[in-house]
Structure 1
Amino acid sequence: MTPRSIRAVGALAAALLTAALLTPAPAQAAPVEAVTAAVALAPPDVNVENTKAHLQQFQTIATNNGGTRASGTNGYDASAAYVQQKLTAAGFSVTLQPCTSCNGSDPNVIADWPGGAANSTVMLGAHLDSVRAGAGINDNGSGSAALLEAALTLASRNPTMLKHVRFAWWADEESGLRGSQFYVSRSGTAGISAYLNFDMVGSTNAGYFLTNLNSTLTASLKGHFDAIGVPTETMTECCSDDGPFRNAGVATTFLSTGASARKTAAQVQKWGGTAGVAYDSCYHSSCDRYPGNINVTAIDRAGDAIARAIWVLAVDDTGTPPSGFTIAVSPTSGSAQPGTSVQATVSTQTVSGSPQTVTFSSGGAPANATVQFSPSAVTSGGSSQMQITLGNSPAGTYPITVTGTGTSGARTATYTLTVVSAGACANYNNRFNDSLTGTGNTDYMPPPTGSYQTTVSGRHAGCLDGPAGVDFDLYLQKLNGSTWTNVAQSTGSGPDETLTYDGTAGTYRYRVYAYSGSGAYQLGFNRP
Structure 2
Amino acid sequence: MTSRRSLPRLAAAVLGVSLTLSAVPAATADTRLPAAPTVSEQQVMPHLRALQRIADRNGGNRAHGTKGYAESVAYVKRALDRAGFRTKLVPFTHDGATGNSLIADWPGGDPDHVLMTGAHLDSVKEGPGINDNGSGSAAVLATALQVAKTGLKPERHLRFAWWGAEEPGLIGSAEYVRKLSAAERRRIDVYLNFDQAGSKNTRQWLVIHDDEHGETEAQQAFEAWFAERSIPTFDIGVGGSDHESFGNAGIPSSGFSTGISDCIHEACDDLSNVDPKTERTSTDAIVGVLWKLAATTPRH
| Residue from 179, 189, 192 that aligns with 1:193 | 189
Aligned-pair CA distance for 1:236 = 6.2
For normalisation by structure 2, the TM-score amounts to: 0.87
Select which of 4, 7, 12 maps to 1:9.
Answer: 12
Q: Does 1:303 align with 2:296?
A: no
CA contact 1:137–1:293 (8 Å) conserved in 2: yes
CA distance in 2, matches of 1:286, 1:194: 34
CA distance in 1, matches of 2:217, 2:223: 10
Distance 1:102 1:88, change over 3 A: farther
SS at match of 1:281: coil
Secondary structure at 2:138's aligned position in 1?
A: helix
The structure with more radius of gyration: 1
Where 2:240 maps in the other structure, the secondary structure is coil
Q: Which amino acid aligns with 2:293?
A: L
Match of 1:217 in 2: 218
Give how far 1:119 is off. Answer: 0.6
Residues 160-204 of structure 1: CA distance to partner in whole angstroms, max 9, x if unpaired? 220101000000110111000000001242310100000001001
- Give secondary structure in 2 for the equivalent of 1:100: strand
Q: Deviations over 1:302-322 (max 9, x none)?
A: 1111111211111379xxxxx
Which residue is 1:246 aligned to?
247
- Residue from 175, 198, 204 that aligns with 2:200: 204
Q: 1:175 aligns with which of 168, 174, 178?
A: 168
Q: In the TM superposition, what are the counterparts of 1:30-429 in structure 2 within 5 Å?
A: 33-34=26-27, 41-101=34-94, 104-188=97-181, 189-206=185-202, 207-212=204-209, 214-235=215-236, 238-259=239-260, 280-290=261-271, 292-315=272-295
Instruction: Look up the SS of the partner of 1:65 in the other structure.
Output: coil
Note the residue ranges of structure 1 that are not aligned, 5 or more in a row.
25-30, 260-279, 318-528
Q: CA deviation at 1:247?
A: 1.3
Q: CA deviation at 1:99?
A: 1.6
Once the two structures are superposed, the pairs formed by residues 491-502 of structure 1 within 5 Å of their partners are: none
Matched-pair identity in %: 40
Cα 1:223–1:90 change in 2 (3 A) is same
Q: CA RMSD in A?
A: 2.7
Which fold has the larger relative contact order, with Cα–Cα distance below 8 Å and residues 6 or more apart in sequence? 2
Q: Give the drift of 1:142.
A: 0.1
| Distance in 1, Cα, partners of 2:16 & 2:200 | 28
- SS of 2:72's equivalent in the other structure is helix
Structure 2's unaligned 5+ residue stretches are none
Question: Displacement, 1:15?
Answer: 5.3
Q: 1:165 & 1:246 partners in 2: Cα distance?
A: 19
Residue-by-residue CA offset, 1:131-166 (whole Å, 9 max, x unaligned): 111000000000000000000000010122201010
Q: Measure, in 1, the Cα distance between the counterparts of 2:138 and 2:68.
A: 15
Q: CA deviation at 1:238?
A: 4.1
Question: Residues 103, 298 of structure 1: CA spacing in aligned structure 2 closer, same or farther, 3 A cutoff?
Answer: farther
Per residue, is there more helix in 1 or in 2?
A: 2
Q: CA deviation at 1:13?
A: 9.9
1:250 to partner: Cα distance = 1.0
Separation of aligned partners in 1, 2:274 and 2:252: 29
CA shift for structure 1 position 2: 3.0
1-structure distance, mates of 2:172, 2:41: 27
- SS of the equivalent of 1:107 reads strand
Shift of 1:32: 5.6
Letter in 2 for 1:9: A
Distance 1:103 1:258, change over 3 A: farther
2:118 partner SS: strand
Q: Deviations over 1:431-467 (max 9, x none)?
A: xxxxxxxxxxxxxxxxxxxxxxxxxxxxxxxxxxxxx
Alpha-carbon distance change, 287 to 195 in structure 1, aligned in 2, over 3 angstroms: same
CA, structure 1 residues 48+32, in 2 after alignment: closer, same or farther (shift >3 Å)? farther
| Contact 2:207 2:255 (C-alpha < 8 Å) held by counterparts | yes
In 1, distance between residues paired with 2:28 and 2:132? 30
The structure where strand makes up a greater share of residues is: 1
